Amino acid sequence: MVEKPPNPSEKARLRRELLTARRALSADALRTSARALSRSACELPELAGARTVAAYVSVGSEPGTRDLLDALLAAGKRVLLPVLLPDNDLDWAAYEGPGSLAEAAHPGKMRLLEPAGPRLGPDAVTGADAVLLPGLAVDGRGMRLGRGGGSYDRVLARLARAGAHPALVVLLYDEEVVARVPEEPHDHPVQAVATPSGVVRFTA
């Protein structure tokens, strides 16, 4: 039997629910979760053994990544951070510490912190050993629900075209690991999820 494609409204409804829950988190809860998330993620073999990690700077009520970025840098990792391009694709630049971030205002886009160093090109991500992905949920199969902007769909497609196979790790809050998320043909499973309370790995 052919499985029906997901109803777009199903993804939209789930995204609304998850974003509403995130917005309800207090500043203290966000700070505490960010510290715990950094500890959890650093325990993952996929990150411990990586030389280059493509990560991102969290915004708003996303699971906080700033502590994790500094921990990766302190562990001697090369950390790449995204730079949002006008067409929603991502360029990359190296993270060199908190002072290397600058606010970038994109017309019609969120206000983001981006690395101020030289741009390395969209293909730089293909050299990463691990890629940290933002998301809103992941299910027991490792299928990830993103925010719907499409930037990381392009990243994943670029990795596939290049034949690159970095570890894919999504960073979430504990309650965002769910039974099932709507899935489309272009969606890629992740290898692991890190949350403030620990990690779940979907492949050996």
List the pLDDT tens digit at each of the 204 positions of the chain.
334 445 568 888 999 999 999 999 999 999 999 999 999 999 999 999 999 999 999 999 999 999 999 999 999 999 999 999 989 999 999 999 988 998 875 544 556 889 999 999 999 999 999 999 999 999 999 999 988 788 999 999 999 999 999 999 999 999 999 999 988 777 789 999 999 999 999 865
Query: For residues 93 and 113, is the Cβ–Cβ distance under 8 A?
Result: no
Domain boundaries 8-201, corresponding CATH code: 3.40.50.10420
Residue 2: the pLDDT is: 39
**Rounded to an integer, what distance in angstroms lies between the CA atom of residue 189 and that of residue 13?**
21
Q: Is 151 annotated as a binding residue?
A: yes
Q: Is 155 annotated as a binding residue?
A: no
Residue 147: the pLDDT is: 84
Q: Is 145 annotated as a binding residue?
A: yes
Structure tokens belonging to residue 70: 């500094």
Residue 3: the pLDDT is: 45
Nearest to 93 by CA among 130, 46, 55, 48: 55
Q: Domain locations in the chain?
A: 8-201
Q: How does strand 167-171 pair with strand 192-195?
A: parallel
3-state secondary structure of 84: strand
Q: Is 146 annotated as a binding residue?
A: yes
Q: Is 149 annotated as a binding residue?
A: yes
Q: Is 46 annotated as a binding residue?
A: no
**Rounded to an integer, what distance in angstroms lies between the CA atom of residue 5 and that of residue 75?**
43
Q: Is 14 annotated as a binding residue?
A: yes
**Rounded to an integer, what distance in angstroms lies between the CA atom of residue 6 and that of residue 10?**
7
162: number of Cβ within 10 Å: 12
Supply the pTM of this predicted model.
0.90
Q: Is 135 annotated as a binding residue?
A: no
Q: Is 12 annotated as a binding residue?
A: yes
Q: Which residues make Cβ contacts (< 8 Å) with residue 124, sequence separation at least 6?
A: 80, 91, 92
